[in-house]
Amino acid sequence: MATIESHTPSEIVGRRPAHGTLDFDEETSPAVIEQLVRAEFLCQQRLVQGRRVLDVGCGTGYTAHYLVRRGGAEAVVGLEVDHNLVEDNRAENQDRRIDFESYDGGKFPFPSEAFDVVTCFEVLEHVTQEVQRHLLEEIARVVRPSGSAVLSTPYRPVYSPDGISLNPDHINELDDYEFTALCKSSFGGVMLYGQRLVDTESFKARQRHHRRAHSSLGTLLRRVGVQSLVRYTRSLRSTPSFKQVMSQFRIATGIDDRSLVQLAICRQPQLRTSTPRCPTS
């Protein structure tokens, strides 16, 4: 079985800094805020309140902090294959309710049934189908029988129109049928939600921008650096507030033709008699 590390985007080999701000109301990164929309949904559902949570693929740790500070989680452990990033997260972390652990891409370094809730946001699209299945098996192993797993991944038909992904690091995006089947391979109960842009015009503009960026002209402009210059110029403008970006999205039951991201709440873990360990080389 392949390791997760062998299918992780190449840029994490370098040392990424810990997240710049944990004052969420001052957060300006749209990508970060779009992920925190999902964390806020869990908080509103009181899914993590008073519970022990594992955040698989925790990155720079902002989701872990959000679930503790705004979701009332008893404790959150962030799990990450980037060992340098785990070190940085630990060095920056001052909240005793939060910890960070690294692992080798194989079996999670926790005993079975160790967590009430396991989250895994925007990880599945970065790994192969084989690793996806392994992740689901490990998540099902470490969550308690009465617990929940919450996973998110882009909804391919909308996130990547014309079969071209918005993110070059995505190697295996899923549609709703594939995502549901993957979740049901390790859980008996799966409820699917869609993260949608509230404003139809904003959604259409995003799709138009995507198609222009991946047109022949867009590809040429990207090669000569024009798009990077435009992106830098835009970054100098005033940015929308945390609340403004949060308000642009809503999460509702089911998937529709404006769902950029699909979110699954999984219950009834189907325990395996054994979980094969991924080799480290």
Domain spans in the chain, listed from the N-terminal domain onward: 5-198+241-269
Q: Tens digit of pLDDT for each residue in 155-214?
A: 999 888 777 776 778 899 999 999 999 999 999 999 999 998 887 666 566 666 666 666
Give pLDDT, residue 7: 41
User: Confidence class of residue 95 from pLDDT cuts 50, 70 and 90?
Assistant: very high
Q: How far apart are the C-alpha atoms of 114 and 245, rounded to whole Å? A: 34
Give pLDDT, residue 164: 73
Asked whether the predicted pLDDT for residue 115 surpasses 50, the reply is yes
Asked whether the predicted pLDDT for residue 243 surpasses 50, the reply is yes
Give pLDDT, residue 15: 38
Name which residue leads in pLDDT, 231 or 254: 254
| Phi-psi domain of 49 (left: phi exceeds 0; alpha: psi -120 through 50; beta: other) | beta
Q: What is the mean pLDDT of residues 203-228?
A: 62
Mean pLDDT of the chain: 82
User: Confidence class of residue 277 from pLDDT cuts 50, 70 and 90?
Assistant: very low
- CA 65 to chain centroid, in Å, comes to 15
3-32 burial code (b ≥16 CB/10 A, e <16): bbbebbeeebeeeeebbeebebeebebeeb
Edge-first strand order for the sheet with 115-121 is 98-102, 75-80, 52-56, 115-121, 143-154, 259-269, 187-197, 249-253
Q: How far apart are the C-alpha atoms of 30 and 141, rounded to whole Å? A: 33
Asked whether the predicted pLDDT for residue 237 surpasses 60, the reply is no
SS3 readout for the chain: CCCCHHHCCHHHHCCCCCCCCCCHHHCCCHHHHHHHHHHHHHHHCCCCCCCEEEEECCCCCHHHHHHHHCCCCCEEEEEECCHHHHHHHHHHCCCCCEEEEECCCCCCCCCCCCEEEEEEECCHHHCCHHHHHHHHHHHHHHEEEEEEEEEEEEEHHHHCHHHCCCCCCCCCCECHHHHHHHHHCCEEEEEEEEEEECCHHHHHHHHHHHHHHCCHHHHHHHHCCHHHHHHHHHHCCCCCCHHHHHCCEEEEECCCCCEEEEEEEEEEECCCCCCCCCCCC
Residues of the chain with pLDDT > 70, as a percent, come to 73
Pair 154, 173: CB distance under 8 Å: yes
Asked whether the predicted pLDDT for residue 231 surpasses 60, the reply is no
Give pLDDT, residue 140: 97
Q: Tens digit of pLDDT for each residue in 129-139?
A: 999 999 999 99
Asked whether the predicted pLDDT for residue 44 surpasses 50, the reply is yes
Q: What is the mean pLDDT of residues 99-118?
A: 95
Yes or no: domain 5-198+241-269 corresponds to CATH 3.40.50.2300: no
